[in-house]
Structure formats: C-alpha cells, structure tokens
C-alpha cells in the first residue's frame, strides 16, 4: 500500500508536503505557528475567544456531554411508568422497585455540567442503573404475567 495509490502518497500529494519537510507558507505567512496535527489544529486560544482565553483558561478536555446526561435522566424518569402503573392497579409494592438511583445519578450528571469528568462518571452510573432496571423489570414482569394467567384461568 505504500506504492503510488497508498494513503501516504495520497496525503503527500494533496498536502503538497512529505514527511519531515517544511510546510509551505499559508495564509498567515511564514511566521504561522506549527500545526498540532494533520488537520491544522493548533492548541491555544480559539479565534474570536474573549480576553483571558489562554491555554489554561478553561477545561482542557472535551466538553461535557450534557445531551447524554439529559437523555439518561429522561430514560430514568420514563422508567417511573412501571411503578405508577403498579400503583394505579392497586399494587403499592411496585413503588419499591422505582429507579431512584438512576434518577439520582441523572440529576447529578445534569447538575455537574461544567466538570466533564463528573458528568461522564454520573452519566455512566445513570445508564448502568437504567439498563439494570430494564433487565430486572423484564425478569419480574414474566413471572407476574404467568401468575396473572394462572389466576385468571382458575
């Protein structure tokens, strides 16, 4: 693959440089800072960022996944349908199987928004609780339906 049609040849042909060579001057002139990667990402302040937006002025990692945190919280809140339905049918003990840990971790993920590490940690816990709740609901739903069939057939 290192021949005429390989990825390295394509990259060198399209970029106009070879490995180890100096990049040609771009729109910013020859004093342009060195690129941090193949796509021209340069660490430091973003263009158009306000004063004080230097290399240490904000979070260094990727932005927190607020959309994922909201989705986990919505999924946890939707899991309340099972206990509410059980309460409506007169089976109050269904309230004991509410997904309270999933709701709690979802709320914590949304509330910890600026801190990406905390959001990610609570987001993992919320989804783990949601999936565990769904699995347990299926495990308990099947015997409950079998019991209902036996009671109705007598």
Residue 15: name the closest of 1, 26, 5, 4 by CA: 26
Comparing 2 with 66, the larger pLDDT belongs to: 66
Q: Is residue 90 included in any domain, yes or no?
A: yes
Q: Do the Cβ atoms of 62 and 76 come closer than 8 Å?
A: no
pLDDT in tens, 97-121: 788 999 999 999 999 888 888 889 9
Q: Do the Cβ atoms of 119 and 65 come closer than 8 Å?
A: yes
Q: Is residue 43 included in any domain, yes or no?
A: no
Predicted pLDDT of residue 154: 81
Predicted pLDDT of residue 58: 55
Q: Is residue 105 included in any domain, yes or no?
A: yes
Predicted pLDDT of residue 57: 55
Q: Is residue 83 included in any domain, yes or no?
A: yes
Predicted pLDDT of residue 14: 55
Look over the chain and give the mean of its residue pLDDT values, rounded to a whole number.
Answer: 74
What total of structural domains would you count in the chain? 1
Strand (E) or helix (H) holding 98: none
Q: With 70 as the cut, is the pLDDT of residue 129 above it?
A: yes
Q: Is residue 12 included in any domain, yes or no?
A: no
Q: How far is CA 79 from CA 52, 84, 90, 96, 141, in A?
A: 44, 9, 18, 13, 14
Predicted pLDDT of residue 11: 59
Q: With 60 as the cut, is the pLDDT of residue 82 above it?
A: yes
Least confident of 42-46, 56-60, 94-98, 136-140: 42-46
Q: Is residue 110 included in any domain, yes or no?
A: yes
Q: Do the Cβ atoms of 141 and 133 come closer than 8 Å?
A: no
Predicted pLDDT of residue 148: 85
Q: Is residue 13 included in any domain, yes or no?
A: no
Q: Residue 26: phi, psi to the nearest 5?
A: -100, -160
Segment 59-81 shows an average pLDDT of 81
Q: Name the residue range of residue 114's domain.
A: 66-153
Q: Is residue 108 included in any domain, yes or no?
A: yes
Predicted pLDDT of residue 113: 82
In sequence order, what are the beta bridge partners of 29?
Answer: 26
Segment 19-35 shows an average pLDDT of 52
């Amino acid at each position: 693959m290192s021949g005429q049609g390989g990825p390295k040849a394509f990259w060198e042909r399209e970029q106009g440089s070879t490995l180890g060579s100096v990049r040609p001057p771009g729109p910013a002139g020859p004093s342009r800072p060195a690129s941090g990667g193949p796509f021209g990402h340069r660490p430091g302040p973003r263009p158009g960022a306000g004063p004080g937006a230097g290399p240490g002025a904000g979070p260094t990692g990727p932005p927190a996944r607020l959309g994922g945190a909201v989705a986990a919280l919505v999924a946890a809140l939707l899991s309340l349908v099972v206990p509410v339905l059980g309460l409506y049918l007169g089976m109050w003990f269904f309230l004991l199987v509410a997904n309270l840990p999933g709701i709690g971790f979802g709320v914590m993920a949304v509330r910890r928004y600026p801190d990406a590490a905390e959001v990610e940690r609570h987001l993992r816990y919320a989804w783990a609780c949601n999936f565990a709740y769904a699995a347990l609901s299926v495990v308990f739903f099947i015997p409950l339906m079998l019991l209902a069939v036996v009671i109705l057939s007598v």
